[in-house]
Amino acid sequence: MKKVVKFGGSSLASAMQFEKVGNIIRADKSRKYVVPSAPGKRNDKDEKVTDLLYQCYDAAEAGKSYKSILEKIKERYMEIISGLSLNMSLDEEFNVIEKNFLEKAGRDYAASRGEYLNSLIMAEYLGFEFIDAAEVIFFDEDGNFEADLTDQVLSERLNKAETAVIPGFYGSKHDGTIKTFSRGGSDVTGSVVAKAIHADMYENWTDVSGVLVADPRIIKDPEVIETITYRELRELAYMGASVLHEDAIFPVRKEGIPINIRNTNKPEDKGTLIVESTCRQPRYTITGIAGKKGFCSINIEKAMMNAEVGFGRKVLEVFEKYGISFEHMPSGIDTMTVFVHQSEFVEFEQSVIAGIHRAVEPDFVEMESDLALVAVVGRGMKATRGTAGRIFSALAHSRVNVKMIDQGSSELNIIIGVRNSDFEEAIKAIYDIFITTEV
């Protein structure tokens, strides 16, 4: 049994947090491979070490004084080291970092030091081997992650290590330059490590007890999802639920390795299990609700449109010309509505409308802005008749005007368009009818 355990920044923000992490790792012998993030915030007013590193680099680059920021970073680590009563010094490391800063090793190098240093401390604290991510995780010259090469090298290297700490977030190009994943990329490192050693589980430790059914900024203390499929998670994430880095799914999904989202501050909670598929009946009919504001709809009407082969294609071509991806395209009879991101669309609005007129000669084109999309996601919906009825009755009861409904034959989700101003109310209504009522 081998588990990869990744800890987020808030789980490693202080010596006290390190101790919690240590207890978690020691409580289960199968937790052999540890992927730390850089120290996060200790409280609301605190700064993340990664942010400090970027500040420090930018100051050095601009020829400004960076010493005080570097000192602040060093203090963060010293506090952890002394808090854990470790017998180690990072002086030499900081000398190298400062030297590299001045030699312009790059912004990614700077940013990566947060994970690098935290992993050195973690390895010392746990008595695990330290493996620098720069030696086992690779990017090509254009900065694209090289999955196959990484898997091969990482796999060979980890097979020689009984236990190890591998810093998250970064790797290296072939010339040795440090390159990072996008922000939150330690999730990806954990996933890549899990794939390489064929882990039985990838535990992703954070400061929440799992994936929530709905956004806690809208629903007070929402329920935690017990089990979610990759597919469902992707849908919720796409619609705005922030859980894992998007690219963290693919490596483990390919290998069928489940991900367990856990809470470092509440290790007794079982968290959320993310799986490829499961026979387990979901606890509620729906798995989760997510949504985003800021869409607009372009409603195109033309008599006898349905008889015109190529109509839809021509309309989409206009959007494509301006690099605008459409989110949904519900169609009635002689009408077709295209939902797009308002921010992407607004610049090209008039060009797109003119283009549509030229392309398909519509009877008229109407736009509506400030719309939101809400996705109700759940594998349980397929087995349960009446889900749509409950959703729309609940929305009507909450006086939410439904502007759009889109449900394909996958039956895994229903997408609902509402006004931005009805967004929170819509999510509350759906949450209440499926979760509060079913509890």
Contacts to a second copy by CB under 8 A: 231, 234-235, 238-239, 250, 297, 299, 301, 303, 306-313, 316-317, 320, 323-337, 368, 375, 385-397, 399-415, 417
207 is in an annotated binding site: yes
Closest contact distance (angstroms) between CB of 123 and a second copy is 35
Residue 251 CB, shortest distance to a second copy, in Å, is: 13
Pick between residue 153 and residue 359 the one whose CB is nearest to a second copy.
359
- Is 127 annotated for ligand binding? no
Q: Which is nearer to a second copy, 212 or 241 (CB)?
A: 241
**Shortest reach from residue 155's CB to a second copy, in Å:** 24
Helix (H/G/I), strand (E/B), else coil: 206 = strand
Annotated binding residue at 378?
A: no
> Dihedral angle at the C-alpha atoms of 49, 54, 55, 58, nearest 10 degrees?
160
* Residue 9 annotated as lining a ligand binding site: yes
Nearer Cβ to a second copy, position 354 or 396? 396
- Residues with Cβ within 8 Å of 68's Cβ and at least 6 positions away in sequence, in order, are none
Q: How far is the CB of 422 from a second copy (least distance, A)?
A: 11
Query: Pick from 46, 45, 55: which is nearest to 12 by CA?
Result: 46
Annotated binding residue 8:
yes
Question: Residue 7 or 423: which CB sits closer to a second copy?
Answer: 423
DSSP 8-state secondary structure symbol assigned to residue 159: H
Nearer to a second copy, 53 or 416 (CB): 416
- For residues 195, 196, 200 and 205, what is the CA-based torsion angle, rounded to 10 degrees? -70
Q: Is 7 annotated as a binding residue?
A: yes
CB of 430 to a second copy, least distance (A): 12
Contact 288/219 with Cβ under 8 angstroms? Answer: no
Strand, helix or coil at 212? strand
CA atoms within 13 A on the CB side of 156: 8
217 marked ligand binding residue = yes
Determine the Cα–Cα distance for residues 379 and 385; give it in Å rounded to an integer.
Answer: 12
Q: Give the separation between CA 389 and CA 434, rounded to whole angstroms.
A: 12
Tell me the closest approach of the beta carbon of residue 416 to a second copy, in angstroms.
Answer: 9
Nearer to a second copy, 155 or 407 (CB): 407
Angstrom distance (rounded) from CA 353 to CA 223:
43
Q: What is the DSSP string of 291-349?
A: EEEEEEEEEEE-TTGGG-TTHHHHHHHHHHHTTPPEEE--B-SSEEEEEEEHHHHGGGH
Instruction: Determine whether the annotation assigns residue 151 to a binding site.
Output: no
Residues 6 or more apart whose Cβ sits within 8 Å of residue 199: 2, 3, 4, 33, 193, 252, 257
Q: Which is nearer to a second copy, 167 or 380 (CB)?
A: 380
Residues within the annotated binding site? 6-9, 50, 115, 206-207, 217
Residues within the annotated binding site for substrate? 50, 115
Residues within the annotated binding site for ATP? 6-9, 206-207, 217
